[in-house]
Structure 1
Amino acid sequence: MARVRRAEVRERVLAAAAGVFAEKGIAAARMADVAAAAGFTRGAVYSNFANKAELVAAVVDAASDRVAARGAAVFDPAVAPSALPDSLGALVAGGPLVDRRLALELAVQASRDPGLRATLAEPRRRQRRVVAEAITAYAAARGLTPPVRADVLAAVLLALVTSLTIERLVDPDGLPAEALRHALAPLLPA
């Protein structure tokens, strides 16, 4: 049997940890649960992450990068301004369920845990920077002026996406796509 590369082990452990944290909650999840979900021993998990706090921080970084990339992709200059509300609506409605549940779990845990709150701060700032840069590039490429500064718009849009994602987790049919499109349209460059 071929040996699995260290980078692949790390990626599989991160993916498994995101799933376990989203399903069981960070507090209830054990490193043994993560190892089992990844298909490795606890030793493989601990050879990549010294402890659960380090694993949580790495999961936060990876999840944050995924959110930033999806958020920035909304502002692809090839997307017409009239399509932006639908693209943002797809961002709220789409994405892997594990990422949406993980976002909710991280928010809940961070409200109770100052250490996790500190761990989340820089990745969240990075998300806002990446999306703000995408908004700025989009507006420049399209000759548009955003209704507010790009950094403020990025923060508001990411907060709305997070809140609406939580709302859709609780009540998937409670927010029709049309209502979402109308709510987001005034915030976007046109």
Structure 2
Amino acid sequence: MNDEATEPPRRLSRAEAKARTRERLLASAAQVFARKGFAGASVEEIAEAAGYSIGALYSNFGNKEELFLELQSARVRERTARAHEIIERREEDDPITALGRFMVDIADKDTDFAQLQAEFWLYAVRNPHALDAMADRVAQQRDAMRGSVSAGMARRGITSDVPAETVTTVLFALFNGLVQQRRLDPDSVPPQLFGQAVHWLFTGLEEKK
């Protein structure tokens, strides 16, 4: 038998408690949104499922839109970090080929969240404040990738007058568009297509030197 006194659990700081509350609310929101969709989910149900009051939810998130956008941002941050890792890795595989496989993986496996994104997009285009908030999040995501794109252009010796910010916007649109097209018609978007399209884009930029 251990006679040593058991230390009481460490009390969370205010910041740690707030972070834990946010995490639980986001996890609950993900489950409720997946089950009922954006329109069908209510903040009351999300708070109850997380074990918190409505007041606790509103002290962390302004409304249901903000909850959804934070979920979406977290998902995209994970993808952006993975894409950045692929771009920076050079020893094992061609990064563009690996990005193509990554695109296919998203298109083929992440279909549940894709439905929620489509639903929120329709909501946002009818509600300018939501569209503005969504645009701000997307801009942040592009900014996170701009450094990697700029480095990739430099490695290829591209000195075009087209800024890396613009190239990043095109690559984001290309990636997202091909993901949607593959979900619609998988045979039309084989894994190598993204890499080919990036090659065409960079070749055009090289010709603008």
Q: Per the shorter chain, which TM-score range? A: 0.7 to 0.9
Query: CA-to-partner distance for each residue in 1:20-67, whole Å, 9 max, x for gaps?
Result: 43553322221244346x543444534432432332343344344334
Aligned residue identity for 2:81 = A
TM-score normalised according to structure 1 size: 0.74
Aligned residue identity for 1:70 = R
Q: Out of 23, 26, 36, which is 1:14 matched to?
A: 26
Structure 1 segment 47-86 matched on structure 2, within 5 A? 47-76=59-88, 78-79=89-90, 83-86=94-97
Q: 1:83 to 1:56 in 2, by over 3 A?
A: same
Q: 1:50 to 1:155 in 2, by over 3 A?
A: closer
Structure 1 distance, partners of 2:44, 2:186, is: 32
Q: 1:93 to 1:40 in 2, by over 3 A?
A: farther
Structure 2 distance, partners of 1:144, 1:85, is: 17
User: Aligned pair count?
Assistant: 185
Match of residue 182 from structure 1: 196
Residue 88 (structure 1) aligned with residue 84 (structure 2): no
The structure 1 segments of at least 4 consecutive aligned residues displaced by more than 6 Å after TM superposition are: none
Structure 2: gaps spanning 5 or more residues:
1-8
Q: 1:84 to 1:8 in 2, by over 3 A?
A: same
Q: 1:91 to 1:13 in 2, by over 3 A?
A: farther
Larger CA Rg, structure 1 vs 2: 2
Counterpart contact for 1:21–1:29, Cα < 8 Å = yes
Aligned residue identity for 1:51 = N
Identity rate of aligned residues, in percent? 31
Q: Out of 117, 133, 136, which is 2:131 matched to?
A: 117
Structure 1: gaps spanning 5 or more residues:
none
Match of residue 28 from structure 1: 40
For the aligned residue pairs, the C-alpha RMSD in angstroms reads 3.3
Counterpart contact for 2:100–2:193, Cα < 8 Å = no
Aligned residue identity for 1:90 = R
Match of residue 144 from structure 1: 157
CA shift, 1:158, in A, is 0.6
| 1:144 aligned counterpart, secondary structure | coil
Q: 1:17 to 1:111 in 2, by over 3 A?
A: same
Q: Out of 107, 123, 128, which is 2:142 matched to?
A: 128
CA shift, 1:146, in A, is 6.8
Highest relative contact order (Cα 8 Å, sep 6+), 1 or 2?
A: 1
Counterpart contact for 1:91–1:161, Cα < 8 Å = no
| 1:145 aligned counterpart, secondary structure | coil
Counterpart contact for 1:17–1:34, Cα < 8 Å = yes
Structure 1 segment 148-159 matched on structure 2, within 5 A? 148-159=162-173
